[in-house]
Amino acid sequence: MEEEIRPESTGLPTSGLLRLQARAPNLLAWLGPAWAVLCGVIASGAFDGRSGGWLRLALLILLVDGGWGSLWAAIGATDWATPLSRWQEWGRSAPTARLPYTLPGAPGGKLNHLLGGFRAWWGEVLWPTCGSALLTLLVALPTSALLAVLLGMELLLLSAAALATMQLGAIWQRGRKKVAPGWDALIAVAMPWIAGHITFGPTTLRSVGMATLFALAWGAAAGVRSRLGQGLTIGGQLLVVVSLVVLESPFAAGAVFLLLVPHVSLLARVRQGHEPAMYVRLTRPWLMAAMLVAALSL
């Protein structure tokens, strides 16, 4: 799933109600991570607004939406490949204060030359290209860490896992300012759902499984033009239906199955040449409704 995704058709890199950068024009893209958090909270069945629950929920949405969203926007939607490739062939150097007692050919002199080259590369290439992302990371990293500490050690560990996933996603795309739908779905749906659950109660395998299946359907929708994308986005939701039947929630299974009908019917429009972004935009409300139904049944 290497297709480049437009901002309005995907999740976190351009989404979030509270993001520290510019917002996406699509309301549903804004709501995606926060909606997944709420579904996780509902799935936990342990929310109690009388004992500080509302405050914890507000902090959690700020962490996932503002903190993780800003980090993912900075890491996943920034062109890191161009300045790094320029560094490999960089030959210019900026003047720096010479280290004392060093000769040009000595190790200290070579280090001084390297520092000068790095300074020139930073000022001429990296900062003009990635300065906004670097500033966002400078603000979002400590903010996310502080919010995670306030919410507990489990959220701190999950935040570290989310950050590692963002870095893996960027490496997978070789820093080419592309957002792979699969990585985006993990950060926009699966991890926020799990975060919502563990903030208020011990996580369960069934809840993690639901989060994973919905993340699969969420990410695969962007590649619905291919047979693999169609199979994953429809098949993921069918697996949710089967899981709900196994969990003895037949009414929820029936409701999710009915919510799948628009997904199937809109495939014809994709086959007629419509863009996948159209499919994502029209089916996402039904997918979010299915997430809520499944959360309520757990």
Give tens-digit pLDDT for 200-258: 999 899 999 999 999 999 999 888 888 898 999 999 999 999 999 999 999 999 999 99
Cα–Cα distance measured from residue 54 to residue 48, given in angstroms and rounded to the nearest whole number: 8
Is 100 inside a domain boundary? no
Q: What is the DSSP letter of 15?
A: -
Distance CA(278)–CA(82), nearest Å, equals 31
Number of Cβ atoms within 10 Å of the Cβ of 147 = 21
pLDDT of residue 15: 44
The C-alpha R_g of the chain, in whole angstroms, comes to 22
Q: Is residue 244 assigned to a domain?
A: yes
Residue 89 belongs to a domain: no
Q: Are 18 and 285 in contact (CB under 8 A)?
A: no
What does DSSP assign to residue 23? P
Winning range, highest mean pLDDT, from 93-102, 171-180, 271-280: 271-280
User: Does residue 117 lie in a domain region?
Assistant: no
Work out the widest C-alpha separation in the chain, in whole angstroms.
Answer: 80
**Alpha carbon distance 54, 78 (integer Å):** 34
Tens digits of per-residue pLDDT, 136-174? 889 999 999 999 999 999 999 999 999 999 989 888 877
Task: Let me know if residue 120 belongs to a domain.
Answer: no
User: How many domains is the chain built from?
Assistant: 1
Whether 180 maps to a domain, the answer reads: yes
CA dihedral 227, 232, 233, 235 (to 10 degrees): 110
Is residue 106 predicted with pLDDT exceeding 80? no
pLDDT tens profile 18-34: 444 334 445 556 688 99
pTM of the model: 0.82
CA distance 64 to 287: 20
Tell me if 154 is assigned to some domain.
yes
Residue entry with tokens 């990296």: 126
Range of 143's domain?
7-81+135-297
